[in-house]
Chains A and B, each alone.
Chain A
Amino acid sequence: MDQTKNGQLMLGNKAVARGLYEAGVCFISSYPGTPSTEVTEEAAKYDEIYCEWAPNEKVAMESAFGASLAGRRAFCAQKHVGLNVAADPLYTMSYTGVNAGLVIVVADDAGMHSSQNEQDSRHHAIAAKVPMIEPSDSKEALEYTKLAYEISEEFDTPVLLKMCTRVAHSQSIVETGERVVPDKPYEKDIAKYVMMPGNAKKRHPIVEERTQKLIKYAETQPINRVEMGDTKIGIITCSTSYQYVKEVFGESVSVLKLGMTNPLPCDLIKDFASKVDKLFVVEELDPIIENHVKSLGIEVTGKELLPVCDEFSQNLLAKAFGKDINDSFSIDENIPARPPVMCAGCPHRGLFYTLKKNNCTVLGDIGCYTLGAVPPLGAIEMTLCMGASIGSVHGFNKVRGAESEKKTVAVIGDSTFMHSGMTGLANVAYNQSNSTIVIVDNSITGMTGHQQNPTTGYNIKGDPAGKIDLEALCRAMGFERVRVVDPYNLKQCDEVLKEELSVEAPSVIISRRPCALLKYVKHNAPLKVNTDKCVGCKSCMKIGCPAISMKDGKANIDNTLCVGCNVCSQMCPVGAFEETASGKEA
């Protein structure tokens, strides 16, 4: 049982980063997205690897492709929806192939812990015709990362390494090795790398031949392994589902564990099926392995038994297979939900209060500020994907006209704006709707845990970098009205918003104040409530600050949370909020 001699407990994402280091990767470009972010953050801690945050996933993947073309092993990572953004280069990189190895992490989020949808990335692997491999714990995450580079170079293809929340954000024991850096020369090859019709037509059959070769590989390589136990039940599974299968059944069933989920083997599955009495597929999300097994003419049970929606667990599996689960306690009490909220001192709060007060229709975007949709603010009415706020406000205003332009706004964060808001802004300027766009600039990529972006002036290592001037950028795109407000100043926010909504011209309001959680942000002393003055009117409760609650009919401030932003005191009609002389007590 001695797991500890050479092993260390490592997060799945960190294990991928370690694998990148050992595989001799020289170039990494990514855009952050939960649950993929830590791969790139951890890799950036190795001085031997060049690492960067790109403005979006498409640019990241194209940059990684360039590095591979130049002959150095390269990498990019993104969450599942990020791969949609990068799908364009991916699908044609499948045709060009690579020079040095190119591996792409895509991290799915079954259960939607931090995502706007639950799409299954295996569809991209099938459609782009590139191999996909899926680790089921940290040890495999490290090993498969290195293996992915071998596959990439042997078969001349980008390789998708699929993570999921439970593998990415679980720690298990890994063993580490040494770094080896291969180097390939760059060689000009127009027929291979210039994908115009004449060349692409010749590359497509090569892709199809490659898939056939990869199927042969999948039939025999240890990445797909059979663990024979009792043969009454046979289960084909992959990724974290494998762990649930082993947890529930141990050695009491036979298992075919697929580490490579595209392309899928045929003979291996037929052989396994022939050795068991009844065959099941246990896979989260869509029935991809199941449909493949059925296409081989093999009888199999999958989604009749197990759900398409949400992530799995051991109890879910046990119940589906008619096994007993443990009794549990219950409490006869209404337990209030505890949804995530904007932090105390969050600069987005004052801005959303102002939008709500002015009865605006707010089309939102992806980031912490999506929490502006949550009560009591309830100010956001749409969130779709990165950048959609600006595209949508334009369409909304075009069909609803002048009345709509006086109350409809797009709200987008600084990082999301750089990711894919700029092109939407170009559309507003070019096709001329009098739309109002608010860029909530908190000077960081917040939701994913504080990553730098092109507007912050720092790179992934925290060193000074190029800094894009948002005001100059908006003006250069044709916006004559670009206003900057401090969201802690409610009066200023209100005045500027009213002006920009009423004017018959497109405008950008930059609501600028750094995230209250940034280390360099200095906080004021917490406020306190003068209970003699407080009339218990609850005006301060409208802003939904977690530091304020009602106690015995009066407002009360939690001084371990309050950062003295003073937004609440601007809400108070009787001046009951007072500054304290002391600093934070906690």
Chain B
Amino acid sequence: METKNIMIVGVGGQGSLLASKLLGHLLMSQGYDVKVSEVHGMSQRGGSVVTYVRYGEKVYSPVIDKGEADFIVSFEALEAARWLPYLKKDGQIVTNTQQIDPMPVITGAAEYPKDLIEKLKATGARVDALDCLSLATQAGSAKAVNIVLLGRLSHYFDLPAEAWMKSLEANVPAKFLEMNKKAFELGKNN
């Protein structure tokens, strides 16, 4: 099979490393070759961050390039728009609708674009947008945005539900497992 590409984008500190870890575990459990590429260091401090997850029969490059992503999983609306050029023509965006102002917006040097989700859809890209922060809070923690997103993403994969649950169990601390399972289901079913 051709190598498949998932990009996870967001704002430094939002928990994208856990999401990529869980996906890596899941895809390996399905027998795929997997590469996961992360960013550490300075850009983690509230900057725009991206993680690449690639899987298939044999994966070479650790990164995903423009026009290659089968999925862009975005923790924040502006980041979905920023990384849009990386989406494949028949790719799918799964994004949180949350707005987090970057510093140039906070200082008034730039404006946060209005109606961004509609504008994203108007490009012709397939966009699945949901308010993950509310769903995560409903599940018990605002920090579970990442798991809500993965729940949503699971829609688009032909994988057994048990496989997702096993990866969830293997990657989140036991005391938060029930909350995260709830977050996953809320993402999947809303």
- Spell out A's residues near B (CB within 8 Å): 1-4, 7, 9, 11, 34-35, 37-38, 113-114, 137, 166-167, 169-173, 240, 243-244, 246-247, 313-315, 325-343, 368, 370-371, 374-376, 447-449, 541, 544, 546, 548-550, 560, 586
Given A331-B81, A342-B45, residue A549 in contact with residue B32 (CB < 8 A): no
B residues apposed to A, CB below 8 Å: 11-13, 24-25, 28-29, 31-48, 57, 59-63, 65-68, 78-79, 81-82, 84-89, 101-113, 116, 119-120, 123-125, 141-143
- Is A172's CB under 8 angstroms from B120's CB? no
A132 to B81: give the CA distance in the assembly, Å. 42
Question: Are B62 and A336 closer than 8 Å at their CB atoms?
Answer: no
Most buried by A among B12, B40, B67, B102: B40
The reply to whether B46 and A327 form a contact with Cβ atoms under 8 Å apart is no
Contact B46–A546 (Cβ < 8 Å):
yes
Q: Which of A37, A171, A338 contacts B36 (CB 8 A)?
A: A171
**Are A171 and B35 within 8 A (Cβ)?**
yes
B33 adjacent to A338 (CB under 8 Å): no
Tell me whether B103 and A34 are in contact (CB under 8 A).
no
Interface contacts beyond A170-B37, A331-B120: sample of 17 additional A-B pairs, CB < 8 Å, sorted by A: A37-B40, A113-B41, A114-B41, A170-B38, A243-B62, A326-B67, A328-B66, A329-B85, A331-B81, A331-B123, A338-B103, A340-B42, A370-B42, A371-B45, A541-B106, A544-B107, A546-B46
Q: How far is the CB of B91 from chain A (nearest CB, A)?
A: 9
Which of A4, A244, A330, A336 is in CB contact (< 8 Å) with B104? A336
**Complex-state Cα separation, A446 to B157, whole angstroms:** 39
Contact A329 B125 (CB under 8 A): yes
| Cβ-defined contact, A326 with B88, below 8 A | yes
CA distance A399 to B106 in the complex (A): 39
Q: Given A313-B63, A331-B81, A336-B110 in contact, is the A166-B142 Cβ separation under 8 Å? A: no
Contact A1 B47 (CB under 8 A): no
Give the docked Cα–Cα distance between A550 and B82 (Å). Answer: 23
26 CB contacts below 8 A, A to B, read A1-B31, A3-B28, A34-B41, A113-B41, A113-B42, A170-B35, A170-B37, A171-B35, A172-B35, A240-B62, A247-B60, A313-B63, A313-B65, A314-B65, A325-B66, A329-B87, A331-B119, A331-B120, A333-B119, A337-B48, A338-B48, A338-B79, A340-B46, A374-B103, A448-B41, A549-B105
The answer to whether B66 and A35 touch across the interface, beta carbons within 8 angstroms, is: no
Q: How far is the CB of A453 from chain B (nearest CB, A)?
A: 17
Known: A544-B106, A560-B142. A449 touches B40 (CB 8 A): yes
Among A9, A315, A370, contact of B24 (Cβ-Cβ < 8 Å): A9
Residues of B within 8 A of A341 (CB): 45-47, 103
Question: In whole angstroms, how far apart are the Cα atoms of A339 and B104 in the complex?
Answer: 8
Cα A313 to Cα B84 with chains together (Å): 18
Contact of B11 among A4, A172, A338, A447 (CB under 8 A): A338
Complex CA gap A244/B37 in Å reads: 14
A172–B62 contact, CB under 8 A? yes
Q: Which residues of B contact A2 (CB under 8 A)?
A: 31
A378 to chain B, nearest CB (A): 10
Of the residues A4, A330, A339, contact of B123 by C-beta under 8 Å: A330
Q: Is the CB of B78 within 8 A of A336?
A: yes
A167 cross-chain contacts in B, Cβ below 8 A: 62
Smallest CB–CB gap between B160 and chain A, Å? 16
A333 touching B35, Cβ below 8 Å: no
B61-A244 in contact (CB<8A) = yes
Q: Which residues of A contact B111 (CB under 8 A)?
A: 334, 336
Given the complex, which residues of A lie within 8 Å of B78, measured CB to CB? 335-336, 338
